Chain A
Amino acid sequence: MRKVLILARRELSAYFYSPMAYVIAALFLLMVGVIFLWGVRVPFLKIEMEPVFRSGAEATLRPLFDVLAYGLAVVVPLLTMRLVAEELRSGTIETLMTAPVTDAAVILGKFIGAFVLYLLLLAATGVFFALIVVFGKPDWGVAGMGYLGMVLLGAAYISVGLFASTLTRHQLVAGLIGIAVLAFFTGGLYLVVLAVPAEYAQTVAKLNMITYFADFSRGVFDTRALVFFLTVTAFFLFISVKVLESRRWR
């Protein structure tokens, strides 16, 4: 475990020693700020969302989280794309694989590193929640569950992004694979639900990560959602390990 933590710290440091973490954080906060204070309006896509923070609106971060759940499907793979792909490209993966750490420890360390960065980004949204607290009376139950949902969703997204990063030595390709997989498990399945007959729609909807996140977003704790996110995270971490392992015998 110590080795995992050392690897995690290394990954986190790598983020902060490069301008990447700051750029991503700035973009993330800008995106959250726009949604929170100005709302979203894309007429040609029929997307219209009032600002979350406005006089007379419900004092909640729920609409923000609901949009972020989709937005993070793009942001998180950008965050994770370099995790293994960069090691593959620069050849440092060989060093890492000859080091006295298991593949699982490598993957877990990288996952924790990215996850901590994600948590820090999420913590930054506390500024917006503070505004809600100052100007309204939010429901703490909904807020707490919303943040828990974001944490679990983020973990699942990171594991998918990490898995994508193990597949190729090109960061951009890894990022695109991650975005494509997450887009399928969020928006893609949503479109499938609309297309299939109602009898099958519910089954298809159960594969959609957003379906489970929606429970947390509205303040409902459901063990089904918890189990789903944890197992999905574990599954993608496991196959990431397996992909990494395969480098030894390929």
Chain B
Amino acid sequence: MAVKPEKSDSGKSTSRDLKASRRAAGVNVVISIAVATALLIVVNVISNKKSYRCDMETLGRYGLSDSAEKILGQIDQPVRLTSIYTSTKPDRKPQEYLPRLRDMMGEIARQKSGVTVVNVTSDRAKAEVLARLRRVLDEAAADHHGIIKDFQILDGKQGPQYEGLARQWAEYPSGGWLEQFRTPKALEAAMGATRKQLRETAMELRLDLAAAALPDYPDMVLRVKGTLKELQDRMKQISGGLRKLSALPEKAAKAKPELTTAADQVKTAIAKASGKIGRADAPMPSNPQKVLEAFAANVRQAADSAQLAAAALERFAGEGYILAARSWRFERATLPHRYHRLAAELNRIADQTEGLLRITAKADVQKQLITWARQRMPQHLAQADAVRKAVNRLLDELTKLDEPTKKIFAGVKQDNYLQAQIKPLAELLARAGKAKPMPEHLSELIEKIGQDNIVLIEIGDIAGVVGFDEVWPLAAGRQTDQADEDDQGKRVFHGDSAVCAKMLSMTAEPFAEIVLTFFEDIPPRYLWQQRPPLVGPIISLQLETIRQRLKKANLKVTEWNIAKQPKPPATKDMPQVLLILPPPEPSPTPPGTPQQRPQWSPDEAAKVRKVIDGGTSAIFLAGYFYPRYMGRVAMPAYYGFGDYLRNDWGIDVKVALRVIQTRPDPLNPGTFKLPIHTWRHMPLSAFTDHPVGEPLKARRLYWLDVCPITVVSDSKTGAIIKDILAIPKGRCEMWAISDIKSLIGKVEQSEPLDADPNSGDLLPPFAVAVEARKQIKGEQVRIIVLAAGESFTDYYLQNPMIRFSEGGTIAYDPPPTADVDLLINSVYHLAGRDEYIGAGPAIVEPIEQIAPGTMLGVKILCGIAVPMLMFAIGIVVMIVRKR
């Protein structure tokens, strides 16, 4: 039964109490929720400041490596990491490659305060980043920018001037003095072309500035310089040409008397000779012998005068512009040529006349000759007259200047013509020549920013870029080093090391010195025939890529040419590591040869030995060296440090053997086939747990001309040798061959291959890279021998790799630049900086090959049957509940 509330004072107060208690409860709830919120925030802030973090992952794939942590620990400036993964290419999909990178960058931000991480996945965000970098770049390239801007101003100013000049030449009066040289048309075209070139270059620069994310300012200035130089040269040429032309009237006037006289003389001489035989209708002379003798002599004189006239004309013309004059040519030949031909004709007539007189005295024959000469001579006379007139015409044309030309020449003679154009060109060209070089890091930024999927690192004012191939290098093959077709595009994550190594190179100073040690005598090129360059199998000039990479790895690179310097360059404050190239084979100088050249000898090896014995570490680059053939006899391969390494370290570098990687021949079990692309690019990543090679285990590295290294069995050197890269026992598809000629023959004939130890082939196990250490004079000395020397040359590291893809088509992969990491790791190790060796990607065992039938079964069972079963249970429960 409901109780009706009484309307009374007490009832009012109850309602008020209820309201008050409700308000109090509400306030209480609000306060408690606010306190709970505050507590939530405070607890999380505290836990963020003091936390414990532990990577439970066995391989440590998702945490940072020790080396990365140490490198991060050394950086004391704010760092901004930006991943720009916006590529839509199927082999670079951000969905596949970005998450792992993002994890790593997040991990860096957690490890190190002051690191800001930005992930850019859209083109809009990328444009914002680029705009920011552009401001930095523009600031650094103020000099370049100024030059480009001034070039555009120059285009604005000079463009109309060239247009005006072109118009001026177009309006040059027809029949004017310069027309005879076709100068107005040529200059009109030249001015038009100059205007066009100026405008096009300015337009290109404008487009580059507007369209390029980060304009390549050094390249743009280079283009400006090229254009300015070309225009300046053209204007100078035009100005110089006009100056020479302006001198012609005076020259012609001076030469006129001589030339007209010479031309008159030719005509007179021919007329005189013709007079000796008379006209065609004149009676035949009674004494033809005498007439012909006088005729021959006069003709000869006429020929001489023609030659003289030709010479005078040639002297007059020299090599100047007269040669281009319209009147210089007469009847499709030049005037001197006409005189030469006339002289030749006259000489022929004289020769025939004299000859006839010598062989016969018969009057009737001589009369016949007179008749013939009477017919010919008038033609020559007419020709001489025509040429004379042409000479006069030429001289008239050259001397008679018209008014417009006079005006032009007045400026030319005062050195004013085109100076208004040449001066600004020269000034800007000089400025462009003095432009400050762009800082190295910005040049690299410009070069790499256009690549797909990059990591941008900004530390203070310096920016660096880590490319996609550095973060995601190619993975080693699954089962063996042979890269299966399935594995071709597989990549492994190496971002931790790549990013941290880049940070190190951007912040740290060089901490070790690499002394490139070689024995070379390279004379100037013009002497190469007499003195061919004396170099070893690996030439120091072919190691530019290595030099650049070593510098970027915070190493100072110097040189020691043993042929010229007695000892390596001195260093005080950093450890030295010698990088020793194989020396050239000694070739004794024949006795009596005047110029003695330096030759490699054991004494030279002793110099290196002395330095190493002094405690300097060294890396020896060796490899397979192709045999030299003396006729049909192959000379044994030579390695100048072979004896030293064998006797002092117990290491036998077998430079005469070449390691090959084959594949089992399915048609001939027990035999092998040589995949042709492995000849130049042999995949091998069988690194041991040695700190130098261990980080490279999961990466796909390719090698060229590898030779095996073995340990001398009865060596008493006391050296401890450890393998870095080795081919283990049982790798039956790999061995080292001794007879390359026979191998090539077999491959050409498609014959099956197998190793033949009896003929000198070497079967695994053997090493390809080793480290040796021993005590010398109480100090521990370490060396590393890398028997894949050719793999470090520019030729190998800069050319793309050929791969036969599915279907037998040829595909190209990027150059095998990862090889350099082995060298850099070796240097870090020998310099005592193991902590800088990148951890390298972890080797992950993938899910094994699943048969299609099994996969189908799994899909039906787990993907369909289990959920359906659950659903069925639900239906059963529903039915039971309804009943």
Interface set of A (CB-CB < 8 Å, partner B): 16-23, 25-27, 29-30, 33-34, 36-38, 46, 48-49, 53-59, 66, 124, 127-128, 131-132, 135-137, 139-142, 144-145, 194, 198-199, 201-202, 206, 214, 218-224, 227-228, 231-232, 234-235, 238-239, 242, 245-246, 248-250
Identify which of A22, A141, A234, A250 contacts B22 (C-beta below 8 A): A250
> How far, in angstroms, from A139 to B62 measured CA to CA in the complex?
12
- Contact of B847 with A59 in the complex, beta carbons under 8 Å: yes
B875 part of interface (Cβ distance < 8 Å): yes
Q: Could you say which residues of chain B place their CB within 8 Å of the CB of A246?
A: 25-26, 29
B583 part of interface (Cβ distance < 8 Å): no
B844 part of interface (Cβ distance < 8 Å): yes
> How far, in angstroms, from A219 to B62 measured CA to CA in the complex?
8
A239-B859 contact in complex given A22-B873, A132-B847, A220-B54, C-beta closer than 8 Å: no
Q: Could you say which residues of chain A place their CB within 8 Å of the CB of B40?
A: 231-232, 234-235
A23-B871 contact in complex given A220-B54, A224-B47, A242-B32, C-beta closer than 8 Å: yes
- Contact of A22 with B871 in the complex, beta carbons under 8 Å: yes
A219-B55 contact in complex given A56-B486, A198-B118, A249-B25, C-beta closer than 8 Å: yes
- Contact of B881 with A18 in the complex, beta carbons under 8 Å: yes
A16-B877 contact in complex given A202-B109, A202-B117, A220-B54, C-beta closer than 8 Å: yes
- Contact of B117 with A59 in the complex, beta carbons under 8 Å: no
Provide a sorted-by-A list of 5 A–B residue pairs whose CB atoms are within 8 angstroms.
A141-B58, A201-B118, A218-B62, A224-B48, A224-B53
> How far, in angstroms, from A131 to B93 measured CA to CA in the complex?
28
- Contact of A36 with B863 in the complex, beta carbons under 8 Å: yes
> How far, in angstroms, from A250 to B23 measured CA to CA in the complex?
9
Q: Could you say which residues of chain A place their CB within 8 Å of the CB of B844?
A: 58-59
Q: Could you say which residues of chain A place their CB within 8 Å of the CB of B117?
A: 198, 201-202
- Contact of B25 with A25 in the complex, beta carbons under 8 Å: no
- Contact of A198 with B874 in the complex, beta carbons under 8 Å: no
B850 part of interface (Cβ distance < 8 Å): yes
Q: Could you say which residues of chain A place their CB within 8 Å of the CB of B29?
A: 242, 245-246
7 more A-B contacts (CB under 8 A) besides A66-B99, A135-B848, A222-B51? A34-B863, A56-B486, A194-B125, A218-B57, A220-B53, A220-B54, A223-B52
- Contact of A221 with B54 in the complex, beta carbons under 8 Å: yes
B868 and chain A: residue at smallest CB distance: A26
A136-B847 contact in complex given A37-B863, A131-B862, A222-B53, C-beta closer than 8 Å: yes
B116 part of interface (Cβ distance < 8 Å): yes
Q: Could you say which residues of chain A place their CB within 8 Å of the CB of B877?
A: 16-19, 22
> How far, in angstroms, from A94 to B591 measured CA to CA in the complex?
120
B854 and chain A: residue at smallest CB distance: A135
Q: Closest CB-CB distance, A239 to chain B, in whole Å?
A: 6
- Contact of B59 with A29 in the complex, beta carbons under 8 Å: no
Q: Could you say which residues of chain B place their CB within 8 Å of the CB of A26?
A: 867-868, 870-871, 874
- Contact of B47 with A227 in the complex, beta carbons under 8 Å: yes
Identify which of B58, B95, B845, B847 contacts A140 (C-beta below 8 A): B58
- Contact of A33 with B864 in the complex, beta carbons under 8 Å: yes
B15 part of interface (Cβ distance < 8 Å): no
A59-B95 contact in complex given A25-B870, A26-B868, A228-B44, C-beta closer than 8 Å: no
> How far, in angstroms, from A64 to B122 measured CA to CA in the complex?
25
Q: Which residues in window 36-76 of B have CB below 8 A to A?
A: 36-37, 39-40, 43-44, 47-48, 51-59, 61-63
The 9 closest A-B pairs by CB, nearest first: A22-B874, A219-B57, A141-B56, A33-B863, A26-B871, A19-B874, A227-B47, A218-B62, A26-B870
- Contact of B47 with A228 in the complex, beta carbons under 8 Å: yes
- Contact of A249 with B21 in the complex, beta carbons under 8 Å: yes
Q: Could you say which residues of chain A place their CB within 8 Å of the CB of B867?
A: 25-27, 29-30, 33
- Contact of B53 with A142 in the complex, beta carbons under 8 Å: no
> How far, in angstroms, from A66 to B870 measured CA to CA in the complex?
24
> How far, in angstroms, from A138 to B510 measured CA to CA in the complex?
42
Q: Closest CB-CB distance, A245 to chain B, in whole Å?
A: 7
B103 part of interface (Cβ distance < 8 Å): yes
> How far, in angstroms, from A201 to B102 measured CA to CA in the complex?
14
Identify which of A59, A214, A234 contacts B845 (C-beta below 8 A): A59
- Contact of A56 with B118 in the complex, beta carbons under 8 Å: no
Identify which of B57, B58, B849, B866 contacts A33 (C-beta below 8 A): B866
Identify which of A139, A206, A214 contacts B58 (C-beta below 8 A): A139
- Contact of B43 with A231 in the complex, beta carbons under 8 Å: yes
Q: Which residues in window 88-127 of B have CB below 8 A to A?
A: 93, 95, 99, 103, 106, 109, 116-119, 121-122, 125
Q: Could you say which residues of chain B place their CB within 8 Å of the CB of A38?
A: 859, 863
Q: Could you say which residues of chain A place their CB within 8 Å of the CB of B847?
A: 53-59, 132, 135-136
> How far, in angstroms, from A248 to B58 measured CA to CA in the complex?
53
Identify which of B37, B61, B103, B119 contacts A235 (C-beta below 8 A): B37
> How far, in angstroms, from A53 to B849 measured CA to CA in the complex?
11
> How far, in angstroms, from A127 to B870 measured CA to CA in the complex?
14
B80 part of interface (Cβ distance < 8 Å): yes
Q: Looking at B25, B29, B116, B846, which has the most chain A CB atoms within 10 Å of its CB?
A: B846
Identify which of B36, B57, B118, B845 contacts A141 (C-beta below 8 A): B57
Q: Closest CB-CB distance, A223 to chain B, in whole Å?
A: 5
Q: Closest CB-CB distance, A207 to chain B, in whole Å?
A: 10
A124 and chain B: residue at smallest CB distance: B866
> How far, in angstroms, from A130 to B307 measured CA to CA in the complex?
109
Q: Could you say which residues of chain A place their CB within 8 Å of the CB of B33?
A: 238-239, 242
Q: Could you say which residues of chain B place their CB within 8 Å of the CB of A19?
A: 874-875, 877-878, 881
B189 part of interface (Cβ distance < 8 Å): no
- Contact of A55 with B849 in the complex, beta carbons under 8 Å: yes
Q: Closest CB-CB distance, A25 to chain B, in whole Å?
A: 5
Q: Could you say which residues of chain B place their CB within 8 Å of the CB of A198?
A: 80, 82, 116-118
Q: Could you say which residues of chain B place their CB within 8 Å of the CB of A245?
A: 25, 29
B858 part of interface (Cβ distance < 8 Å): yes
> How far, in angstroms, from A108 to B875 measured CA to CA in the complex?
30
> How far, in angstroms, from A46 to B86 measured CA to CA in the complex?
13
- Contact of B55 with A55 in the complex, beta carbons under 8 Å: no
> How far, in angstroms, from A56 to B477 measured CA to CA in the complex?
12
Q: Closest CB-CB distance, A12 to chain B, in whole Å?
A: 14
Identify which of B54, B119, B874 contacts A21 (C-beta below 8 A): B874
> How far, in angstroms, from A144 to B55 measured CA to CA in the complex?
12
- Contact of A223 with B103 in the complex, beta carbons under 8 Å: no
- Contact of A214 with B858 in the complex, beta carbons under 8 Å: no
A16 and chain B: residue at smallest CB distance: B877
> How far, in angstroms, from A48 to B90 measured CA to CA in the complex?
12
> How far, in angstroms, from A58 to B82 measured CA to CA in the complex?
27
> How far, in angstroms, from A249 to B866 measured CA to CA in the complex?
48
> How far, in angstroms, from A223 to B49 measured CA to CA in the complex?
11
Identify which of A127, A132, A222 contacts B52 (C-beta below 8 A): A222
- Contact of B52 with A128 in the complex, beta carbons under 8 Å: no
Q: Could you say which residues of chain B place their CB within 8 Å of the CB of A34?
A: 863
Identify which of B21, B848, B863, B870 contacts A22 (C-beta below 8 A): B870
Q: Closest CB-CB distance, A230 to chain B, in whole Å?
A: 9
Q: Which residues in window 450-507 of B have CB below 8 A to A?
A: 478, 486
A249 and chain B: residue at smallest CB distance: B25
- Contact of B866 with A29 in the complex, beta carbons under 8 Å: yes
Q: Could you say which residues of chain B place their CB within 8 Å of the CB of A234?
A: 40
Q: Could you say which residues of chain A place their CB within 8 Å of the CB of B59?
A: 139
> How far, in angstroms, from A17 to B849 measured CA to CA in the complex?
43
> How far, in angstroms, from A53 to B862 measured CA to CA in the complex?
12
- Contact of A202 with B866 in the complex, beta carbons under 8 Å: no
B50 and chain A: residue at smallest CB distance: A223
Q: Mark B814-858, 1 if CB is under 8 A from A, else 0.
A: 000000000000000000000000000000111111100000001
Q: Could you say which residues of chain B place their CB within 8 Å of the CB of A131?
A: 858, 862
Q: Could you say which residues of chain A place their CB within 8 Å of the CB of B63?
A: 220
Q: Could you say which residues of chain B place their CB within 8 Å of the CB of A206?
A: 48
Q: Closest CB-CB distance, A6 to chain B, in whole Å?
A: 22
Q: Could you say which residues of chain A place their CB within 8 Å of the CB of B51?
A: 222-224
- Contact of A17 with B866 in the complex, beta carbons under 8 Å: no
Q: Closest CB-CB distance, A28 to chain B, in whole Å?
A: 8
Q: Could you say which residues of chain B place their CB within 8 Å of the CB of A218?
A: 57, 61-62, 103
Q: Could you say which residues of chain B place their CB within 8 Å of the CB of A30?
A: 863, 867
Q: Closest CB-CB distance, B456 to chain A, in whole Å?
A: 12
